[in-house]
A and B are shown apart, each in its own frame.
Chain A
Amino acid sequence: MYNDEVMDRYQNPVKNGKMENFDVKTDGASTTCGDKIILYIKTDGKKIEDMKWQGEGCILSIVSTDLFCENAIGKEIKDLKEQDDLAFVESFPVKISPGRINCVMLPLRTFRRGTKEK
């Protein structure tokens, strides 16, 4: 449906699953299309030690969430939160049409909401 990189990750996500010893748990939903994710974040207060997700959604939101969790490890919360929306969408492995930007943005928006106090 999309390219192999996207489809492989959709069918075999690497960060999908529940985390027991999380520091932050936050959920996000795209109400117009039914995408729902939970992010589990393990952090030393500054950097991300690990991140996992659970949920349902379209291919773009699932793949974006899985990539986001994997790429976040070792990064600072502040840098992740403050990254540019457009650059984030453009870094996705396939070109995104305007109508699908919300799908790709779901993990970043969810992360920002969950780490507002951090």
Chain B
Amino acid sequence: MISSYGKKEDFPIFKKKVNGKSIVYLDSTATTQKPKQVLDAIVNYYEGANANVHRSVYKLADEATEMYENSRTNVGRFIGADSNEIVFTRNTTESLNLLSFTIGESLKRGDRILITSMEHHSNILPWMRLEERGIKLDYAGLDGEGHLDIEDMKSKLKKDTKIVSVTHQSNVLGTINPIQEIGKLAKDNGSTFIIDAAQSVPHMPFRVREEYDFVAFSGHKMLGPMGIGVLYGKYHLLEEMPPFNRGGEMIKEVDFHRAVFEDPPIKFEAGTPNVEGAVGLSAAIDYLKKIGMEDVRRHEKYLTSMTLKNLDGMKNVTYYGPRDVEERGGVIAFNVRDASNLKKNLENKNVKVDRVYHSHDIATFLDDRNVYVRSGYHCAEPLMRTLNLSGTARASFYVYNGDDDVKAFISSLSEI
């Protein structure tokens, strides 16, 4: 284990037994488990400071507002941004929709948006909706190993490309994209550059840079609670944008037919915000900082490399994405061929040899052994079409996983 932090003991869910045995949780790409420190922070907030924020003048409300705003500052510091550049949302999906309904609305017929073939649906559908207005959506392709094809990206970067929105790390292939390089290309082209960082901010050191206009990520994928997400935006860009939702909190002044909106980030936080979520996310960041993000990344590389080495030795298993752990995160999509058919084929010539088990069957098989992996399309159907796959199983790691989990996974998989 990486340090005294990140130990399973900190995560109450790992006390849970299913059929008398511990669980092996390998689905942190979908959501992460929560340490006691995060759960305590949420309880402490409700027990000691709960009131609506940014409204009332009494002491408890001040305390709640302070906790909420301190959380924002903590999130900002974590990625090297100012606190007024941090907008709290529900999740990455909402952060990207916020951009679609604000800067996306300012695009005109003939303008283009460039994304990649490895995007999660949350970085496709908010842009696809603009196609109805004559805006073109382009996809940069991949090479055979699942790296982004930079030359293809360059060729699709046109003078009308107003937005470039790219995932930092694929939630299926694990591919880590060269976002500094892509950011530079986007900036040289005068395009707005957006990063879907849902799978990178939780797993590696991340600092915002001059090329990055917007960065979206989710709290629940980094030990925080569900329902809290972040949109980082350069302050002057947030200032120029219209609001997303409208209502309470986000206004300075309201007349019968006219309103003056608050300054960013509050302009984008209509209604009572998710204060417990912000407080929980801040506690999650404190927890991750104690480990150190370099060590989080190092630990995941270690587990990934150990797993891939084992999978290389299993003839009926195919995994996807870059072979080099330096180029990928701790997420491994894989499929398993039906080896029993090999035998059957010898007995009965008309049975297809290369039948691949459906990923749901693999996940159910592993579930029977308390090993929890994801299966299906992973919210990345265009990627599955690109790879010509009808889904994959997927194992993914985080700070609380150790050698024991890799061993349990490999030994269960070898029983198929």
Instruction: Name the B residues within 8 Å of A32 (CB-CB).
Output: 376-377
A100 touches B360 (CB 8 A): yes
> Binary interface profile of A, 79-97, with partner B (CB < 8 Å = 1, else 0)?
0000000000000000001
Measured between C-beta atoms, what is the minimum distance from A113 to chain B in Å?
21
Q: In this complex, what residue of B is CB-closest to A7? A: B340
Contact among B341, B358, B365 for A33, CB-based, below 8 A: B358
Main SS at interface, chain A:
mixed
How many A-B residue pairs have C-beta atoms within 8 angstroms? Tell me: 48
Q: In this complex, what residue of A is CB-closest to B336? A: A1
B376 touches A59 (CB 8 A): no
B330: Cβ under 8 A from any A Cβ = no
Residues of chain A having any CB pair with chain B under 8 Å: 1-2, 7, 11, 32-35, 56-61, 97, 99-100, 103
Instruction: Name the A residues within 8 Å of B359 (CB-CB).
Output: 33, 58
Measured between C-beta atoms, what is the minimum distance from B309 to chain A in Å?
25
A103 touches B357 (CB 8 A): no
Contacts beyond the supplied A34-B358, A58-B358: 20 A-B pairs with Cβ under 8 Å:
A1-B364, A1-B365, A1-B416, A11-B340, A11-B344, A32-B377, A33-B360, A33-B375, A33-B377, A33-B391, A34-B384, A34-B390, A35-B358, A56-B390, A58-B360, A59-B357, A59-B358, A60-B360, A61-B358, A100-B364
Q: Give the complex CA separation of A1 and B364 in angstroms.
A: 9
- Interchain residue pairs with CB less than 8 A apart (8): A7-B340, A11-B351, A33-B359, A35-B358, A58-B359, A58-B360, A60-B360, A100-B364
Instruction: Name the B residues within 8 Å of A61 (CB-CB).
Output: 358
A1 touches B351 (CB 8 A): no
Instruction: Name the A residues within 8 Å of B358 (CB-CB).
Output: 33-35, 57-59, 61
A58 touches B341 (CB 8 A): no
Instruction: Name the A residues within 8 Å of B367 (CB-CB).
Output: 97
